[in-house]
Amino acid sequence: MELGFVGVKYSGKSTLFDVLTQKHFETLRSGMSEYRRGRVVVYDSRVDALSEIFNPKKTTYATFDCIDIMGIPSGSFHDTSSKYLEAVRQVDGLVAVLRIFEGYGDDGKPVQINPSEEIQHLEEEIQFADLVVVENRLEKVEHLKQRGVPQYDAVEHDILKQCKDALDKGISLREIPFSDEQKKRMRGFQFLSAKPLLAVLNCSDDRYVERDNYIQKVREKFPKMAVTAVSALSEKEIQELPEDERALFMQEMGIEEPAINHVIKAAYEGLGLISFFTVGEDEVKAWTLRQGLKAPAAAGVIHSDMEKGFIRAEVISYPVFMETKSLTKAKANGQLRLEGKDYVVQDGDILNIRFNI
């Protein structure tokens, strides 16, 4: 799972990246440009509780990766061969970092604070980029149809027509209820507007107190959008403080918990991710899975052999497990379910995969 930060220049993407990854990153190179890939640890009190019960040699939280890309160079989405676009196409989800703090742009003029307009602009750019891909492919497919050759694929043709229809109306593909089968067929196109998008309002600390106002305004214009707020710079300053000073500073700022935790949670939910757990004496571990996927896919996250040889999964949800805090007792109570390959994994499921290789 990999997320990419997008947004206008100087919106605080790199600052947020530093905070989320706690500076665990590597610098990669693509063509002429450099970018950073980092790992975000998803703290989860359920993992702590399970670890206390099983006392394993190792405890592992869920993680996801994110990449820090430079600000959107104007018109970059119109240049289909741009390195920028190439990097953004690879990610599984987009985090739009929107600027809610004063400052000056490259032209020396004060920047406008208007997150809804920035989202609108971003949506238009990614829809445009998708439309270029759709129209190119449609032209080829229609040509195949005219020639009546066996390479013509009516299913693909239909999907492309639906995509074009939506994009022409300014609707992002993520809002169209495509079937799982259609989504699978669309994956190869790496459509940008089909990717889940989380809007993060990056506020200066004095504007952070008004965050609900800003969130509300964005929601009025984009009712379906996942939106959250953070003050990336304050969070970064908090992280850089020695442990004992941190609590005091947070108290002064009126912050109860580092906001990165709720940003991580919002990213997780907004991007349609869930956690499932594996437990034992060796390791208690949280794994990341896309919402709606079935048990064999979860097995595949652990190991590809487990997916290939999947037989069944023993499943118990976290709250049910916590009633007895013992797998043996849960089993005796009939709380340990045996699920087959059609079982849709739920957030908080504790899984034991039975497989055969």
Ligand X SMILES: Nc1nc2c(ncn2[C@@H]2O[C@H](COP(=O)(O)OP(=O)(O)OP(=O)(O)O)[C@@H](O)[C@H]2O)c(=O)[nH]1
Residues that bind ligand X (CB under 6 A): 9-15, 70-71, 101, 202, 204, 231-233
Distance in Å, CB of 355 to ligand X, minimum: 44
Q: Which C-beta is closer to ligand X: that of 48 or that of 210?
A: 210
Q: Which C-beta is closer to ligand X: that of 127 or that of 234?
A: 234
Distance in Å, CB of 241 to ligand X, minimum: 16
* Residue 172 binding target from Mg ion, ligand X, none, CB below 5 to 8 Å by type: none
* Residue 204 binding target from Mg ion, ligand X, none, CB below 5 to 8 Å by type: ligand X
What strands lie across the sheet with 337-339, from one edge to the other? Answer: 58-60, 283-290, 273-278, 349-355, 310-317, 337-339
Residues near Mg ion (CB under 5 A), total: 2
- Please count the other Cβ atoms lying within 10 Å of the Cβ belonging to residue 225: 19
228 binds Mg ion (CB under 5 A): no
Distance in Å, CB of 116 to ligand X, minimum: 18
Distance in Å, CB of 244 to ligand X, minimum: 24
Q: Which C-beta is closer to Mg ion: that of 13 or that of 211?
A: 13
14 binds Mg ion (CB under 5 A): yes
Q: Which C-beta is closer to Mg ion: that of 72 or that of 289?
A: 72
Distance in Å, CB of 120 to Mg ion, minimum: 22
Binding site for Mg ion (CB under 5 A): 13-14
